[in-house]
């Protein structure tokens, strides 16, 4: 089985980090394939970092520390309000619409009943029809609200 770990690997790494390898470690490295790879990879990685840093970093502007701090704490309040507004937006239109339909329907029925039967509350037709009508209206109203609520919740979940 191929050797994957060397007990001296840690010491080699520390030595490389301090840029000082003891002679006995150097001797070990020349014989150990694991440590040989460790040295090769460590040297290459650090040379790569050095070169890439010189190329990439001088032209890079990073945000100011205070801006990041403010961003982290200001962001939560802002996004919460924004999310609530977004989530509730689909609810407003059906709410207004159902309210208007309900009021208009009531006025229309009352007017029609008064015109046709005189005193609406004495009419036998109205007493039979009105409960069914109210049940129907409320069923439609609540199912619309339920659907819209589900949609809003789903949207909010996505936002979060």
Partner 1 sequence: MLSSLVQPLNLALQKKDLEEDQHGTLYMEENRKEIWERFYEKNSRSFWFYIYKICGNEQTADDIFQESFYKFLKAKVSIQNEKHMQAYLYRIAYRLILDRIRRSKVEKKAFEEGQQAYLRNIQKEGPQSEIPFSLDMEKTFKKLKPKERMLLWLAYVEGYNYEEIAKMTDTRESSLKVQLFRAREKLARILKRQELQGGIRS
Contact with partner 1 (CB under 8 A) among 40, 92, 103, 110: 40
Residues with Cβ within 8 Å of 71's Cβ and at least 6 positions away in sequence, in order, are 63
Contact with partner 1 (CB under 8 A) among 24, 26, 69, 93: 69
Contact with partner 1 (CB under 8 A) among 65, 121, 157, 158: 65
* 42 lines the binding site for partner 1 (CB under 8 A): yes
For the CB of residue 12, give the shortest distance to partner 1 in the complex, in Å: 11
CB 68 within 8 A of CB 40: no
* 82 lines the binding site for partner 1 (CB under 8 A): no
Region label for 62, one of left (φ > 0), alpha (ψ between -120 and 50) or beta (otherwise): beta
Displacement of CA 141 from its chain's centroid (Å): 31
* 13 lines the binding site for partner 1 (CB under 8 A): yes
Q: Which stretch binds partner 1 (CB under 8 A): 65-73, 81-89, 95-103, 134-142?
A: 65-73
* 75 lines the binding site for partner 1 (CB under 8 A): yes
Is the torsion defined by CA of 14, 17, 18, 20 positive or negative?
positive
Measured between alpha carbons, how far is 111 from 115 in angstroms, rounded to an integer? 6
CB 12 within 8 A of CB 41: no
* CA distances in angstroms from 136 to 59, 127, 157, listed in the order given: 68, 15, 32
For the CB of residue 141, give the shortest distance to partner 1 in the complex, in Å: 39
* 159 lines the binding site for partner 1 (CB under 8 A): no
Residues that bind partner 1 (CB under 8 A): 4-5, 10, 13, 17, 37-38, 40-42, 44-49, 51-57, 60, 62-63, 65-66, 68-69, 71-73, 75-76
């Amino acid at each position: 089985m191929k050797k994957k770990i060397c007990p001296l690997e840690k010491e080699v790494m520390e030595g490389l980090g301090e840029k000082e390898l003891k002679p006995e470690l150097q001797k070990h490295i020349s014989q150990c394939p694991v440590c040989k790879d460790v040295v090769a990879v460590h040297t290459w990685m650090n040379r790569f970092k050095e070169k890439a840093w010189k190329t990439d970093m001088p032209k890079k502007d990073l945000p100011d520390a205070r801006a990041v701090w403010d961003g982290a704490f200001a962001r939560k309040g802002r996004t919460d309000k924004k999310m609530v507004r977004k989530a509730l937006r689909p609810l407003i239109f059906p709410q207004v619409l159902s309210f208007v339909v309900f009021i208009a329907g009531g006025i229309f029925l009352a007017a029609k009943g008064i015109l046709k039967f005189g005193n609406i509350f004495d009419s036998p037709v109205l007493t039979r029809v009105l409960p069914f009508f109210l049940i129907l209206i409320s069923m439609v109203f609540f199912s619309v609200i339920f659907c819209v609520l589900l949609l809003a919740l789903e949207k909010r979940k996505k936002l979060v």
